[in-house]
Structure 1
Amino acid sequence: MISRTTEDTTRLSSFFAVDLGGILSSLYLLIGTFVILFSYNWRLAAVEAFIIPLVIVVGIVNGRLSYKWTNRVQRSLAKLTELLSELLVNIPLIKTFTKENVEEERGKEYIDKLYLAKLMFTFITKLIRLLNEMINVLQTIIVIVLGIYLVSKNIITLPVWIAFYLYARSLTSSVATVMNSWANLKTCQGAVRRLSEITSEPLEPYESVSQKMKPNDELSFDQVTFSYADHTVLRNVTFNIPSGKTTAIIGPSGAGKSTIFNLIERFYKADEGVIRLGDLSIDQYNLQEWRNSIGCVSQETRLFSGTIRENITYGLDRSVSDEEIIDAAKEAFAWDFISSFELGLDTDVGEGGNNLSGGQRQRIAIARVILKNPGLLLLDEATSNLDAETESMVNQALKKLSSGRTTIIIAHRLSTIEAADQIILLGDEHVRDVGHHTSLLERSPIYKQMIDIQKSF
């Protein structure tokens, strides 16, 4: 994506800004010069008519080779860019496992592939330029020899021959410019193909007709099946999420807990079955309104570079006073550390929030959701990065936030599970059981085993 949106767009903009204008002016010169040459002497003009096709053939070959090798260069560059972006975010992991030398060798391998592709492309470009120069020399020799003969026979005068020679040079230059632009056009053809793969992806239907949201309606999954490629995660899953209650979703890793969140947020569409709010499929609600009604706090806290204020107010379509921001930060137990910074709310969080600790980033994310005040709350172990004291405080804030609000929690901790109004137990692509803590302990051996394992730690 980075390579396509930088290299390919630059290549296209260069063609339209430079080459396209050059093509139009060169075509004008080409036609005008041919007319003038024939008006001087048809014999000399016929020589040019023989030379020009050679330039065109070389240009066509150049275009095809440029298309082929530019694609190879672009693929190599994309692989290298992908590797670099991966390495940069995993530097601590690489150092932990002392794999600097391994990654360095892997990087050299990608660089060598890019170097070879670029070398071949440059070699072909220079070879084509050499062929064009040879054609120019051939043209010059023929025009000079034929011109001397015609002047000696008094068929043309010396001034006419000199003028013809100068126009002929301009003619081949114009043809060469057109064919170079043709080669650049073939190069852009690959860029267009790669960019079109992005632009042809359907946009999310933000502008669809909106059904009136009813936040007090029950959310339900009805025979929902979903797969990632050939891997089925959920199969014929059916359950209800009571309005205004807290529902915990538990199960082993890979059971589909996060997938349920993604389906609710409409990042994916179910392969089969329907997800409803009340009597209507969630797909019938305006997507922007739907997502605006959801607040999500996950284990992987996401912050943008900028200030704490900008991150807490991110996504709000209304103006917010400092008092509201401070109140939200206090409810998330984030105000103590925010106020300790010299710039307070205007403190820069750094790229991805790397100027803050994991717990601080988590509390800013919670403050952001508190300020949003959503109708549906999704919590994916939102206190996972906090110490025991802060976790207790934030749990109080989340309990207050979820009161009277439909809340769905991906739960692993016993305290979270026991406090839920409803528990959904997932496993083997299905819903294994639904109930509250006490009832599941009595009738579900799987649930009892999970709780016993939790208590053993």
Structure 2
Amino acid sequence: MDNKSQKDSLKPFISLIISTKIPKLALTLGLIGSLINTLFGLTIPLLTKEMVDGFSVEAISITLIITIGVVFILKAIIQGFATYSLAYVGQKIVAKLRQMMVFKLIRLPVSYFDRKTSGESVSRVVNDTGIVKDLISQHFPQFITGIISIIGAVTILLFMDWKMTLLMLISVPITFAIMIPLGRKMRKIARGLQDETANFSGKIQQTISEIRLMKASNAEIMEERKGMHGIGNLLTFGLKESKILAVIGPLMQLVIMVVIVIIIGYGGIRVAEGTMSTGSLVAFLLYLFQIIMPITAFTMFFTQLQKAKGATERIIDILDLDAEEGQEGLEMDITNQSIHVENVSFGYSEEEPVIRNVSFEVQPGSMVAFAGPSGGGKTTMFGLIERFYEPTSGQVLIGQTPIKKLTLSSWRSQIGYVSQDSPMIAGTIRENLSYGLEDTVDDARLWEVAKMAYADQFIEDFPMKLETEVGERGVKLSGGQKQRIAIARAFLRDPKILMMDEATASLDSQSEGIVQQALTRLMEGRTTFVIAHRLSTIVNADKIIFIEKGEITGIGTHKELVHSHPLYREFAEQQLT
């Protein structure tokens, strides 16, 4: 099957919907209710015919009026039941789709998010799944009931008067001739609109998440231009969609009005000649609406179907991605285990290697520092040890076991990470301290780790204590406060391995002193990796690994490297003298 056939195929869409485990009972009841509702609708013109043909004050049939009233009431009740049942099916399907996508997204490797904006991913979860929901809960039921309505109405009309029926059915091919090419254009527009919506969402989310950078950089006007460009693109697609809808509406009304005029004109002649009753003419007009109106709904169904197929492609693209390796594997206690990095190479792309054939060994409980020029690969080494990325060649072992044989949860639960920016979630101090821990942590333990990180005093000063809201990314806290909460979070996990990306580099001297004390306490008895931006923080490290352009050019203590490594000596002279 070629690419075009695959894109036009409904198979991926149907397979995706089936994978959500459709609530079959609700779907069946909804469709049966829709069928019964449609059949009731088909009886109304016939009852109206009887009433019109026998219409006089003396001949009013109470039974007929009661029958029509009962039909209307039952039709309304069944329609409400069927509408809710099918809406329930649509909501359950979209909830399952969103669950599948959220579960997949949070298990995708970091490399995926290096390539995609968070706003685009959010748009796929919210907007694209919403399109699928609308198709299933609204347009699909209308399509099914429309088919039943048309088949039933045409069948009854052929028995009533086949000549008038054939005259009326001339409108059907005319309608399809108008709708099919317009539907194809709508499909292209809908796909473009979905992509542009995802792109726009990503840019807006990025701007809002970095609002301080934007304001500090006086970038409001630049962001306004970007926003206007995105809004302009959305407006262009929206206007194209509106043009097609503006053509469809009047054309459909024109076709309907022409057919009504023809039926009334021809039917009036037949009534005058006595070959057709007035009630039959009224019934014909009512059935005409039961044929023409579903055809209009078909147009919306096929338009929405094209949107849903486009959304499905993007949903499937995400669901088909491979999750991080390491969801299954060994559960292992790494206490007192040495770490061996053997001939590791890595690149974010094949053309750009970042780490080249790196090897070193770390004894348990020792402190190892990575030093070297910016861009040399220090942070990438952290990412490889943390298993945010997998080496393109070589391996990292804990004891004699490659770390990739351990489950990610087992490995990462034994690593504490304290970075410069100390990431925070929007929530309370309590939620930030215990983030990621499934078991509830009592207050005594939280205050204990806060004290160990010298964070207890400033937390006590807040009126809400542990329930204090920190704001998005911790904006309500100072840099030193965030760092101490991050250190307390690490204490709470009691990690075997500690990783620090120069955690005091951006602090003032007073905060730095407090945070450094907390870090020294945290490092005791743990294997510690440090990225050094200032050599003063690592002069006492057990081992310093100097990395340049992805390669290790020196390993040793501070004293050894000062004697043996010219560039390290130059760094030391600049910073320490």
With the shorter chain as reference, the TM-score category is: over 0.9
Instruction: Specify every segment of 5 or more residues in structure 2 that has no aligned partner in the other structure, as ranges.
Output: 1-120
* Distance change (3 Å), C-alpha of 1:285 and 1:275: same
> What does residue 322 of structure 2 align with?
202
Report if the CA contact (8 A) 1:59-1:180 is conserved: no
Report matched runs for 1:116-195 at 5 Å. Answer: 116-151=236-271, 155-195=275-315
Q: What is the match of residue 233 of structure 1?
A: 354
1:343 pairs with 2:482: no
> Conserved in 2, the CA contact under 8 Å of 1:72 and 1:117?
yes
The answer for the alignment partner of 2:17 in structure 1 is none
Q: Distance in 1 between matches of 2:334 and 2:201?
A: 46
1:81 aligns with 201
Corresponding residue number in structure 2 for 1:452: 573
- Give, in whole Å, the separation in 1 of the partners of 2:163 and 2:344: 80
Residue pair 1:60, 1:183 contacting (<8 A) in 2 also: no
Closer, same or farther: CA 372–219 of 1 in aligned 2, 3 Å: same
Does residue 510 of structure 2 align to residue 370 of structure 1?
Answer: no
Out of 308, 318, 321, the position equivalent to 2:439 is: 318
CA positional deviation for 1:383: 1.7
Task: Find the counterpart in structure 1 of residue 548 from structure 2.
Answer: 427
Name 1:281's counterpart in structure 2: 402
CA distance in 2, matches of 1:374, 1:221: 20
The residue type equivalent to 2:352 in the other structure is H
- Map Cα deviations across residues 359-395 of structure 1 (whole Å, 9 max, x no partner): 1111111110011111111111112233323322322
Q: Match of 1:8, as an amino acid?
A: D
CA deviation profile, 1:318-368 (whole Å, cap 9, x unmatched) = 332222111211111111111111111111112221111111111111110
TM-score by length of 1: 0.94
Q: Does 1:405 align with 2:506?
A: no
The equivalent of 1:29 in structure 2 is: 149
Residue by residue, what CA displacement relative to the aligned partner does 1:119-143 show, whole Å, maximum 9, x if unpaired?
A: 1111111111222112212322332
SS at match of 1:418: coil
CA–CA distance in 2 between the matches of 1:280 and 1:451? Answer: 37
Of residues 335, 355, 358 in structure 1, which corresponds to 2:476? Answer: 355
Query: Partner residue of 1:9?
Result: 129
1:251 equivalent among 358, 361, 372:
372
Give the distance between the partners of 2:152 and 2:294, measured in 1 at CA: 11
CA-based RMSD? 2.0
Q: Percent identical across equivalent pairs?
A: 33
Mean Cα displacement is larger for which, 294-303 or 202-211? 202-211
Structure 1 match to 2:11: none
Q: Identify the range of structure 1 (428-437 vs 49-58) with the bigger mean alpha-carbon deviation.
A: 49-58
Greater RCO, 1 or 2 (C-alpha within 8 Å, sep 6+): 1
User: Is the contact between residue 454 and residue 514 of structure 2 (CA under 8 Å) also seen in structure 1?
Assistant: yes
Q: Distance in 2 between matches of 1:235 and 1:138?
A: 77
Q: Residue 335 of structure 2 aligns with which residue?
A: 215
Q: Which moved more, 1:177-186 or 1:75-84?
A: 75-84
- Contact persistence 1:63–1:187 (CA under 8 A): no
Specify the alignment match of 2:192 in structure 1: 72
Shift of the alpha carbon at 1:105?
A: 2.6
- Asked whether the equivalents of residues 326 and 405 of structure 2 are also in contact (C-alpha less than 8 Å), the reply is no
Does the 8 A contact of 1:26 with 1:177 survive in 2? yes
Name stretches of at least 5 consecutive residues in structure 1 with no aligned partner: none
Determine if contact 1:414/1:451 at 8 Å carries over to the other structure.
yes
Alpha-carbon separation, structure 1, partners of 2:290 and 2:341: 73
2:373 maps to 1:269: no
- The one-letter amino acid paired with 2:300 is N
Counterpart residue number, 1:303: 424
Cα distance change on mapping 1:48 and 1:202 into 2, 3 Å: farther
C-alpha distance in 2 between matches for 1:262 and 1:5: 27
Counterpart of 2:558 in structure 1 is: 437
